[in-house]
């Protein structure tokens, strides 16, 4: 059973809305799905296609052509067949499976993109049977069907002249390009999945680290990689050590994952590839006891494929896999976490495609782990210089790590807010709430499970001839129908759920969430899997004897879910033992500054205000300061106190924490101008917090001169008396 993540369901809704609009226009239109590697682009597309063909607002029949590079089309076909196994809505075909020289309604024809680029290929070559692509498309269109073309991993091929010609020849009503890095010019619509949302739901790792433990220099889009003077044996040693450390951490946390190290060979002639492969295999065998024979080494090359059976499984014993570029398209192995590139590469550009194989989390249903090292991927190399593609400018690659220069054990009381949940849509938590309510209500004991019959009263305002005309926007009049047809049962089931969703918006994600909840009940309590028992399950639900029981459980679950959402939305949680993080990661867009007293070394920053910069200079010159820490605004990782404003509880991330030689701990927040005038509530909260411990001191600080050339002052008065350019309740700082 597939469960969509929230961002995936949102993408499906967006694609559905935009595609319906474009399909209503004249001519061939282009829609792009831009989604990060590891976000589940195939699942999003599969669910979108399903929703498109069952949508009551789409009155035309639709035939699909799915194209992909290399062998990815066969992998995509297998994934979609598995996805549609229990849904019975779309049929996946290869070219030889077509009947009557056309693509029928709700059929998807899977094609290898390179093969239809070659004019001599049998798929596009004219023949006396009229069994070639052009004729099949012509027949499909003449039958009145819309043709929708899906171009998977479109960045690999959609820009070539031949490819553009083929798109023109196919002339689909809608072309959907799917890629993490789309290249299409002037698309009609774009649907974007943001990396922050994918990370938040634990599908991909938080970041990728290059040469963890060493510093790197970035100039423009060029990285000067640290510690590249070592031999291949030394850099291999670093990568293997990282893999072993990760393995120990997984075991310590009782997580059944065996992390995988990928060694990527550069493009080269077959003879050179063989020499390099042999050298690596010897190093692994002689120094590290990793070999093909003991099952710890796998090889994925065009002329050799060894130990690949179930290598994607989280507990597979393979520790190292040697591969070339071909594996980087469409290959999913979420336990892959370390990537090694030797200096044999003449040049390489780090892009989303380069690092995509090590970005996935091994247990996406669980998401991120408590130990942050497991939420990161790692790249090692002895290449001196690599280029960074613009698609990595934010969100993926971390080049820098700043570490604490002193041991700290502050154990401060800090606060953080959980992310807000949507109030109008059902999230994945609804499933567990629903299952709990089925147990409270004893649903299993109350429903009839034998001789079920659906004689369903359909809410309707006007007469209609078939179930395709059901429309939840119209109201009240009843018509009794005996239902046996599986498609009609599906429509009635969907309608029943939509009709019982209020006050939640009846969009597809919420409908599917209720479906998943009901399916889970049948699977867990009655041992009925939806893939084999759909008709039976729906008849049980919609039987007049059972219908109200399911309604009651849905209603009580909605009430409980609303309470859950409200509690989460308002909850600010306390961390009683907050400490300054041992290390902090930074991406490619940061600067560095040499400050001797910064607790974090090196000191990296994205932006510093003028007051912050000058206050740091003041702290650097003080003989009383041991270290200072520039606080962030990263929820639980950063220090925050509570304050109330406009009847809402908010968080105040104080700018600086300072340790003095007299063991006092200072909490200071720099303010100036209009920002200073509006800081009253924060000031009161900070002064109240400082009273928790006799060793605490601090407050709001400002400079007597707007250009920061005057004296530094500390505010001691009440928040409602805080005024710009009025220093009556201030005192001079002397440290």
Burial of 313 (0-12, 13-18, 19+ CB in 10 A): middle
The whole-number pLDDT of residue 360 equals 92
pLDDT (0 to 100) of residue 623: 96
Q: 209, 605, 608, 639: which is closest to 408 by C-alpha?
A: 639
CA angle 173, 175, 180 (to 5 degrees): 165
Give Dmax over CA atoms of the chain in angstroms: 97
Say yes or no to pLDDT of 257 above 80: yes
Position 218 scores a pLDDT of 59
- Of these ranges, 244-248, 354-358, 711-715, the one predicted with the greatest mean pLDDT is 244-248
69 pLDDT more than 90: no
The predicted structure's pLDDT at residue 209: 87
Q: Which two three-digit tokens encode residue 21?
A: 């609009």
More confident residue, 463 or 709: 709
| 424 pLDDT tier (thresholds 50, 70, 90) | low
> Three-class SS of residue 596?
coil
636 — phi, psi (to 5°)? -65, -25
Query: Tell me: the pLDDT tens digits for 494-505?
Result: 888 888 887 776
What local confidence, expressed as pLDDT, does residue 466 receive? 44
Query: Where does the pLDDT of residue 124 fall: very low under 50, low under 70, confident under 90, or very high at 90 and above?
Result: low
Q: Residue 470's pLDDT band (boundaries 50, 70, 90)? A: very low
Question: Pairing between strand 189-192 and 29-34?
Answer: parallel
Q: Looking at residues 625-650, what average pLDDT do you find? A: 90
How is the chain split into domains, by residue range?
6-197, 202-398, 429-570, 576-732
- Looking at every residue in the chain, the average pLDDT score rounds to 84
User: Which stretch, 120-124, 126-130, 351-355, 663-667, has highest mean pLDDT?
Assistant: 663-667
Helices 6-23 and 41-54: angle between axes, nearest 10 degrees: 50
- Residue 671 pLDDT: 87
| pLDDT, greater one: 321 or 706 | 321
17 three-class SS: helix
Q: Which of 108, 17, 103 shows the shortest CA–CA distance to 68?
A: 108
Average pLDDT value for residue range 491-514: 80
Least confident of 252-261, 579-588, 672-681: 672-681
Q: Reply yes or no on whether the pLDDT at 476 is more than 80.
A: no
Rounded to an integer, the average pLDDT of 664-669 is: 97
Q: In this structure, how many other beta carbons lie within 10 angstroms of the beta carbon of residue 328?
A: 16
Percent with pLDDT over 90 in the chain: 45
- Nearest in space to 689 (alpha carbons), one of 637, 640, 627: 640
Query: What is the rounded average pLDDT of the residues 280-301?
Result: 95
- Give per-residue pLDDT as tens, 370-401: 898 999 999 888 877 676 665 555 567 777 88
pLDDT at 459: 37
Please state, in angstroms and rounded to a whole number, the distance separating the CA atoms of residues 169 and 719. 70
Q: What pLDDT score does 606 carry?
A: 86
- In 3D space, the residue among 154, 57, 83, 149 whose CA is nearest the CA of residue 110 turns out to be 149
Residue 352 has pLDDT above 80, yes or no: no
pLDDT > 70 fraction of the chain, expressed in percent and rounded: 82
**Digit-coded pLDDT (tens) for 199-239:** 888 999 988 888 776 665 555 556 556 555 567 888 899 99
Q: Which residues contact 647 (CB under 8 A, 6 or more apart)?
A: none
Residues 292-343 pLDDT 10s: 999 999 999 888 899 999 999 999 999 999 988 655 455 678 999 999 988 7
- 48/42 Cα distance (integer angstroms): 10
Phi, psi dihedral angles at 615 (to 5 degrees): -65, -35
Angle at CA 400, nearest 5°, toward 394 and 401?
120
Q: Is the peptide bond before 655 cis (omega within 30 degrees of 0)?
A: no
Nearest one of 678, 660, 669, 683 to 729, comparing CA atoms: 683
Which residue would you say has higher pLDDT here, 259 or 509? Answer: 259
Residue 272 pLDDT > 80: no
What is residue 419's predicted lDDT score, i.e. its pLDDT?
58
Contacts of 411 (CB under 8 A, 6+ apart): 576, 577, 578, 579
- Residue 617 exposed, middle or buried by CB count within 10 Å (0-12, 13-18, 19+): exposed
Residue 587 contacts residue 605 (beta carbons within 8 Å) = no
CATH classification number, 576-732, choose in 1.10.3470, 3.40.50, 3.40.1350, 3.90.105: 3.40.1350
Would you state the CATH architecture of domain 202-398?
3-Layer(aba) Sandwich (3.40)
What pLDDT, on the 0 to 100 scale, is given for residue 159?
53
| Letter string b/e over residues 217-248, b meaning 16 or more CB atoms within 10 A of that residue's CB | ebeeeebebebbeeebeebbbbbbebbeebee
The topology under which CATH files domain 6-197 is: Rossmann fold (3.40.50)
Average pLDDT of the segment spanning 503-531: 83
Residue 592's DSSP bridge partners are 604
Q: Tell me the CA distances in angstroms from 261 to 226, 284, 322, 575, 611, one per residue in order.
A: 20, 12, 9, 36, 46
Which residue in 520, 564, 556, 318 sits closest to 437, CA to CA? 556
pLDDT band at 157 (very low <50, low <70, confident <90, very high): low
């Amino acid at each position: 059973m597939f469960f969509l993540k929230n961002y995936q369901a949102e993408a499906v809704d967006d694609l559905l809305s935009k595609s319906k609009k474009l399909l209503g226009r004249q001519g061939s239109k282009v829609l792009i799905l831009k989604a990060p590697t590891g976000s589940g682009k195939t699942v999003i597309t599969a669910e979108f296609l399903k929703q498109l063909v069952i949508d009551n607002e789409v009155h035309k029949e639709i035939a699909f052509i799915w194209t992909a590079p290399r062998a990815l089309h066969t992998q995509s076909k297998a994934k979609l067949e598995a996805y549609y196994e229990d849904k019975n809505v779309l049929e996946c075909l290869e070219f030889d499976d077509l009947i009557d020289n056309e693509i029928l309604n709700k059929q998807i024809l899977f094609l290898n993109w390179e093969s239809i680029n070659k004019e001599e290929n049998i798929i596009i070559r004219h023949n006396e049977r009229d069994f070639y692509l052009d004729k099949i498309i012509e027949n499909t269109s003449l039958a009145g069907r819309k043709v929708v073309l899906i171009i998977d991993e479109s960045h690999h091929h959609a820009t070539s002249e031949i490819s553009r010609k083929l798109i023109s020849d196919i002339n689909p009503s809608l072309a959907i390009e799917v890629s993490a890095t789309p290249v299409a010019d002037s698309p009609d619509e774009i649907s974007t999945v943001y990396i922050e949302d994918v990370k938040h739901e634990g599908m991909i790792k938080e970041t990728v680290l290059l040469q963890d433990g060493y510093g790197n220099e970035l100039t423009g889009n060029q990285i000067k990689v640290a510690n590249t003077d070592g031999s291949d044996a030394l850099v291999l040693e670093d990568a293997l050590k990282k893999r072993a450390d990760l393995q120990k951490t997984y075991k310590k946390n009782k997580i059944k994952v065996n992390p995988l190290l990928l060694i990527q060979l550069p493009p080269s002639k077959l003879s050179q590839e063989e020499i390099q492969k042999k050298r690596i295999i010897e190093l692994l065998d002689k120094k590290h006891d990793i070999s093909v024979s003991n099952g710890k080494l796998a090889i994925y090359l065009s002329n050799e494929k060894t130990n690949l059976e179930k290598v994607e499984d989280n507990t597979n014993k393979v520790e190292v896999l040697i591969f070339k570029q071909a594996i980087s398209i469409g290959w999913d192995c979420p336990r892959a976490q370390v990537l090694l590139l030797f200096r044999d590469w003449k040049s390489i550009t780090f892009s989303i495609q380069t690092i995509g194989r090590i970005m996935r989390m091994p247990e996406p249903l669980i998401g991120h782990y408590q130990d942050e090292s497991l939420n990161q991927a790692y790249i090692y190399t002895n290449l001196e210089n690599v280029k960074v593609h613009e698609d990595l400018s934010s969100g993926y690659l971390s080049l820098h790590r700043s570490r604490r220069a002193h041991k700290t054990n502050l154990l401060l009381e800090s606060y953080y807010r959980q992310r807000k949940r949507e109030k109008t849509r059902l999230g994945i938590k609804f499933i567990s709430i629903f299952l709990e309510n089925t147990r409270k209500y004893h649903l299993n004991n109350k429903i009839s499970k034998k001789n079920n019959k659906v004689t369903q009263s359909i809410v309707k305002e006007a007469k209609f001839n078939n179930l395709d005309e059901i429309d939840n926007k119209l109201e009240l009049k009843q018509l009794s129908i005996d239902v046996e047809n599986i498609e009609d049962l599906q429509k009635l089931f969907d309608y029943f759920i939509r009709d019982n969703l209020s006050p939640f918006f009846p969009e597809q994600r919420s409908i599917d969430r209720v479906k998943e909840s009901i399916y889970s009940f049948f699977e867990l309590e009655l041992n009925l899997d939806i893939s084999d028992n759909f008709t039976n399950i729906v008849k049980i639900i919609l039987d007049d004897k059972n219908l109200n029981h399911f309604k009651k459980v849905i209603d009580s679950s909605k009430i409980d879910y609303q309470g859950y959402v409200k509690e989460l939305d308002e909850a600010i949680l306390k961390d009683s033992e907050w400490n300054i993080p041992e290390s902090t990661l930074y991406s490619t867009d940061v600067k560095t500054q040499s400050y001797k007293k910064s607790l974090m070394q090196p000191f990296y920053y994205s932006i510093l205000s003028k007051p912050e910069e000058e206050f740091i200079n003041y702290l650097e010159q003080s003989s009383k300061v041991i270290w200072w820490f520039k606080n962030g605004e990263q929820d639980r990782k950063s220090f925050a106190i509570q304050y109330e404003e406009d009847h809402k509880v908010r968080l105040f991330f104080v700018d600086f924490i300072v340790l003095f030689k007299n063991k006092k701990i200072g909490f200071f927040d720099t303010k100036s101008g209009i920002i200073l005038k509006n800081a009253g509530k924060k000031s009161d909260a900070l002064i109240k917090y400082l009273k928790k411990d006799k060793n605490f001191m601090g407050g709001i600080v400002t400079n007597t001169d707007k250009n920061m050339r005057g004296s530094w002052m500390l505010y001691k008065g009440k928040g409602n008396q805080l005024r710009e350019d009025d220093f009556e309740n201030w005192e001079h700082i002397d440290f």
